[in-house]
Amino acid sequence: MTDADVDWLMQRMPFAGLDASAFPRSIPLDGVLKNDCRLHRFSPGQVIVREGDYANSAFLVLDGHAELVTRSLPPDVLGRREVKKQSWPSAIWQLLRPSGVEEARDPEDVTPDVVMQDRKSSVSNAADSNSTDRSQDESLPTLFLQDFAGIVRAGQTAKLAAGEMFGEVATMLRGPHGATVLAGDNATLLEIRLQGLKMLQRDVEFARRMDEHYRAHWLGIHLREIPLLRFVPESNMQKIIDQTELRSFGRLQWNADYSKTRKLSPSEQIESEPVVATEGHHVTDLIVVRSGFGRVCQNYGAAQRTTAYLGKGHVFGLEEITLSVTGNGGSKPLQHSLQAVGFLDTLHIPVECFAREILPHIRRSELPATAAAAMSGTAKKDEPRERRTSTRTKDATGTGLPIVNVSSDSSQTWNELPTSTGTSFEPTGLLEFIVQNRYNNGQHAMIIDLHRCTRCDQCVKACADVHDGNPRFARIGNQHERLQFIQACMHCTDPVCMIGCPTGALHRNESTGLVIVSENICIGCGVCAKGCPYSNIEMVEINDKQGRPYTDQKSGGPIMKATKCDLCSSVPSGPACAAACPHDAMVRIDLSESPPLDDWLRRRT
């Protein structure tokens, strides 16, 4: 962005209507535009954002128009190749007759079968029609939709005219884009980074318009995704939407601080986290996690200990609110504190609104035992005592998607495990270890039980056999007592590695939820490898079947591709690492919720 670009933008809406005095002197409005925005010029049919890509920037149409595709496009149209399952004979043949070449690729896996175009990362002053692009401007490759005209003629797009913004909701939540957007003609767009988007909301009118847009189009969708609200009538939903408050805590770019915060002791990390709700305070809102992670902790002597962690869709304070509004259990203060782990985006539903619009429509079986007893008017002693068994995989609500409201004896959901010293450690120690290292972000974490592992490395050898002699992980990782958390792709709930991929090569498979690399459109830029906070992505040089390296025609250098654990998605047996372990010491497990690990540990004691 040049000064001329900024001056041109300051004369156009909506920036001409912003109150410059609302911005601090250290970060003025023109500084936000210059440092947190970028101008782009797109050709007709060029892909601006792809459905499913994780957002870090919003886009404002300045000139021309864009086309929002109203239906999901097949993966191959966007250059993404579906992983093909091998047959058992093919998998056995590969095992018996390996290629002998590390990182061998067929030519079709190296060259994209879709049209790639350079997206100008900056354009000169768009007000000057005679100006040309500056020679020093860098360009980024993006996809070009070949059947663009046919999709428009079929009425499968919605026009986004000059002055309209898209991608701002996904950016604020750092979630996936809900649709693919293409350039409709020679369009000029302004990319606004998240930091700039937040700064622009210092203007009251700009913030009001964004809030109204979110409430009108997205808040109702997000509220209906909450299991607790699934029986609330539509007539009540608008009242809930009007009274719900949106709040954010912590830093969205938690991965930038991860290497530092993970080295802090649990007590230091808890003290550094933003407080959302405090133990002992009067409950005023039902807190719903919209994105990010929250730590539920409780005073324990002079310190605090972790008792649970929350993810998207979980709620906090349900038991205390229910007891307070029914009056049968008396007013009950919060029994735990809630803190943001890195970043936490929440919805706050006032107690009065919850009692009037939501509570009458909640099934008693979905409430904590004490709250259900209060609702039915029975004494707590009349409730049957709930026992946890080794086969239990759901939370106390029985929904499978837990409505987390941790009671005072919640730590008993974890059995104390024997250690190598013959003593035992508190369950909270394992919880704090998982949260401190952000392993609760992993949906397919790799864990080894060191009491059973003999270090035979059969898991690594099996991975190498499946991936051309180059294993996708090493048997290293952080250790907590008998458990070792291996450094391998966890296919995270919040896959920050996907942010910034210019071609969408790194994406989440809609059917399996796995984070997959489409190598045919991977340009080897390394953005994903740098973005992964766990260092679970590597850039490697690739070869043909005869061992000759592929080279780039422009630079003459070797072609690099991103590689990571793909959970052996092409192999019929599933993850080869876990299948090859002769001592049942390894597991791939979902750590975004505690029951899977809890059950696995119970079966091993």
593 neighbors 289 (Cβ within 8 angstroms) = no
In order, the DSSP letters of 237-270 are HHHHHHH-EEEEEE-S-HHHHHHHHTTS-HHHHH
421 neighbors 451 (Cβ within 8 angstroms) = no
Query: Partners of 447 in the beta sheet?
Result: 485, 587
Alpha-carbon dihedral 102, 107, 109, 114, rounded to 10 degrees: 160
In order, the DSSP letters of 94-150 are HHHS---STTB--GGGTS-SSEEEEEES--S-TT-TT----TT--EEEEEE-TTHHH
pLDDT of residue 119: 66
Q: What is the DSSP letter of 533?
A: T
How would you label 267-280 residue by residue, b for 16+ Cβ within 10 Å and e otherwise? Answer: eebbeebeebbebe
In order, the DSSP letters of 17-41 are GS-GGGS-TTS-HHHHHHHHEEEEE
Residue 214 CA to residue 225 CA, distance in Å, equals 15
Give the whole-number percent of the chain exceeding pLDDT 70.
Answer: 86
Q: How many CB atoms lie within 10 A of CB 461?
A: 14
Region of 102 (left: φ > 0; alpha: ψ -120 to 50; beta: rest) is beta
Residue 237 CA to residue 244 CA, distance in Å, equals 10
Residue 402 CA to residue 22 CA, distance in Å, equals 42
Tokens of 260: 């530092």
Residue 427 CA to residue 412 CA, distance in Å, equals 8
Summarize the chain as % helix, strand, coil (round to 5): 30, 25, 45
36 neighbors 171 (Cβ within 8 angstroms) = no
CA distances from 134 to 6, 44, 131 (A): 16, 21, 9
148 neighbors 183 (Cβ within 8 angstroms) = no
What residues in the chain have per-residue pLDDT under 70? 113, 117-140, 327-330, 376-428, 605
E-assigned strand segments in 456-589? 474-480, 483-487, 506-508, 515-517, 538-541, 560-563, 586-589
pLDDT of residue 436: 86
pLDDT of residue 443: 92
Residue entry with tokens 């250690």: 419
E-assigned strand segments in 397-553? 417-418, 424-425, 445-449, 474-480, 483-487, 506-508, 515-517, 538-541
pLDDT of residue 428: 63
Query: Residue 293 belongs to what H/E stretch?
Result: strand 285-300
Query: Partners of 83 in the beta sheet?
Result: none
Tokens of 391: 């086969």
Tokens of 174: 């750092």
| Helices marked H in 401-507 | 427-436, 458-466
In order, the DSSP letters of 319-355 are HHHHHHHHSSS-----SSEEEEEEEEEEEEEEHHHII
Residue 152 has φ and ψ, to the nearest 5°, of: -65, -45
Residue 549 CA to residue 428 CA, distance in Å, equals 50
Region of 60 (left: φ > 0; alpha: ψ -120 to 50; beta: rest) is beta
Residue 466 CA to residue 1 CA, distance in Å, equals 47
pTM of the entire structure?
Answer: 0.78
pLDDT of residue 221: 87
Residue 244 CA to residue 219 CA, distance in Å, equals 9
Residue 233 has φ and ψ, to the nearest 5°, of: -65, 155
Residue 517 CA to residue 520 CA, distance in Å, equals 9
